[in-house]
Amino acid sequence: MSNTRKVVVIGAGVSGLTSALYLLKSKKSYEVTIVAQHIPGDIDIEYTSIFAGANWGSFADDHEIFLQDLDKPGYHYFMDLARTEPGAGVHIVPKQRYNRQSEMGKDGKPHDPWFIREKFVEGVRTLRKDELPESVGEDAKDPFVAGYEYQTITISTNIYLHYLLQQIFALGGVLKRKTIKHIDEAYNLHQSGERADLIVNCSGLLASKLGGVQDPEVHPIRGQILWARNSASKQISLKIPGFKDESVYIFPRKEGGCIIGGTFMPNNWSDVVDPGLAKRMIERAKKYLPELVDPNYEGNSTEIDVYRYNVGLRPGRTSGPKIEREGDIIHNYGIAGAGYQASIGLAEYVCQFAEEFYQQKSRGGNKL
Ligand SMILES: Cc1cc2nc3c(=O)[nH]c(=O)nc-3n(C[C@H](O)[C@H](O)[C@H](O)COP(=O)(O)OP(=O)(O)OC[C@H]3O[C@@H](n4cnc5c(N)ncnc54)[C@H](O)[C@@H]3O)c2cc1C
């Protein structure tokens, strides 16, 4: 029997890979085996991480301090990565959010999110009126009256997931493509051939189905997104009146091209692309970010050039993400639409819980 800390991580999405990497980077003799049904490179409705935008833009409300704290370390981490690691597939872009009249508070002012008010993020500024989209046609009914900008990142998910994986391999981590039916199977899948001491469960949406977990709170939040070849200089987001589940967000990627969203449909498992919605998304992209179809900008096509129509299912959880230790299992799943931005905050918890587990184990604690 070796004296290493034998850990099996279930899942190779952003939650599992970041957890595995942070354990390995802690230099505390962890031997980490990742066991996953889907791995970087796969495109599958049950593998959410590939479909993310992905940007940093905390959804946490003013009172959701725990969620704010989960998101905070990710901002600094990804901004640093964009500046120092060209191979990570992360770049810095300005994000503009446009507010409509109906979003104004009783005082006539917009209710900006915590990270804008506190100037937690870089480059916060109020948009001038001439920087807002024109409020013509349908938009005249609920015109754009305010907006802000800040500096954020877009993560090219496929490149970033591979970047995480390469670092894991370099630190001795092992990846096994395997589907398990019950969480207990994971104990016998460690690379050493010995029983794992600790399991880190990062099974995402499938935590609703995995035997021994089957969390009834976990549910999909469906998002339809388009991958397009058109490039842009900034991210934008805005609401669409009359469409409860639809909004516009566009994130340009570092290698060119962009992701166009999107929808937010809780409890909808459908993997079928809605062509009517796709058409609306394309029209909105052209209208609210005209440089996408301006040949003078990066030689863009004059039409939105979609190379893949996608549906992704965010791993929602009714009472929020499950990040806790139950004996020799650490759970890290259910992070909904914030899996990248919160990945660092969550991985820090995983390391803390793992350390606590091994401390107790070394003291001979039988109530781990
Ligand atoms: C349209 C869309 C846009 C998004 N935009 C953003 C954004 O801009 N910023 C952001 O931070 N987040 C964004 N997200 C959210 C983000 O993508 C998710 O929160 C994140 O990907 C969840 O990662 P995960 O690792 O928990 O799950 P997943 O990526 O789904 O990974 C789960 C892993 O567990 C494995 N697994 C599950 N069950 C088993 C089993 N029984 N046996 C073996 N392996 C198993 C799977 O194979 C997979 O490897 C977006 C999501 C969508 C859909």
Asked if the structure places residue 367 within a domain, the reply is: no
The answer to whether residue 368 is domain-embedded is no
Cα gap 131→143, rounded to integer Å: 13
Calculate the alpha carbon distances from 25 to 156, 157, 158, 206, 359 in Å: 23, 21, 22, 27, 18
**H-state helical runs in 13-109:** 14-25, 65-84
With respect to residue 298, please indicate whether it lies within any of the assigned structural domains.
yes
Ligand 1 centroid to residue 98 C-alpha, Å: 28
15 is in an annotated binding site: no
Q: Return the best residue to mutate from 33, 48, 177, 333 for the ligand 1 pocket (most ligand atoms within 8 A of CB).
A: 48
Strand order in the sheet with 322-326: 174-177, 30-36, 5-10, 198-201, 329-333, 322-326
Nearest of 159, 163, 158, 190 to residue 174 by alpha carbon: 190
CA 79 / ligand 1 centre spacing (Å)? 21
Residue 1 is predicted with a pLDDT of: 58
pLDDT in tens, 163-200: 999 999 999 999 999 999 999 999 999 999 999 999 99
Would you call the peptide bond into 54 cis, given omega within 30 degrees of 0 as the criterion?
Answer: yes
Q: Using omega within 30 degrees of 0 as the cis cutoff, is the peptide bond preceding 262 cis?
A: yes
Range of the domain at 343: 5-362
pLDDT digits (tens, 9 = 90+) for 82-99: 999 999 999 999 999 999
Atom 26 in ligand 1: which residue has the minimum CA distance?
204
Residues in the ligand 1 pocket, defined by CB under 6 Å = 10-16, 35-38, 47-49, 51-55, 179-180, 202-206, 210, 223, 225, 261-262, 312, 314-315, 333, 335-341
Gap between the Cα atoms of 368 and 360, Å rounded = 7
Q: How far is the CA of 333 from the centre of ligand 1 (A)?
A: 9
The reply to whether 328 falls in a domain is yes
Site to probe by mutation for ligand 1, drawn from 18, 22, 33, 37 as the one with most ligand atoms within 8 Å of Cβ, is: 37
Q: Is residue 332 part of a domain?
A: yes
Which parts of the chain sit beneath pLDDT 50? 366
270 is in an annotated binding site: no
pLDDT (tens digit per residue) in 240-277: 999 989 999 999 999 999 999 989 999 999 999 999 99
Count of domains for the chain: 1
Q: Is residue 146 part of a domain?
A: yes
Q: Is 48 labeled as ligand-binding?
A: yes
| Residue minimizing CA distance to atom 15 of ligand 1 | 337
CATH number at residue 176: 3.30.9.10
- CA-CA distance, 181 to 186, in Å (whole number)? 9
| Separation of CA 202 and ligand 1 centre (Å) | 9
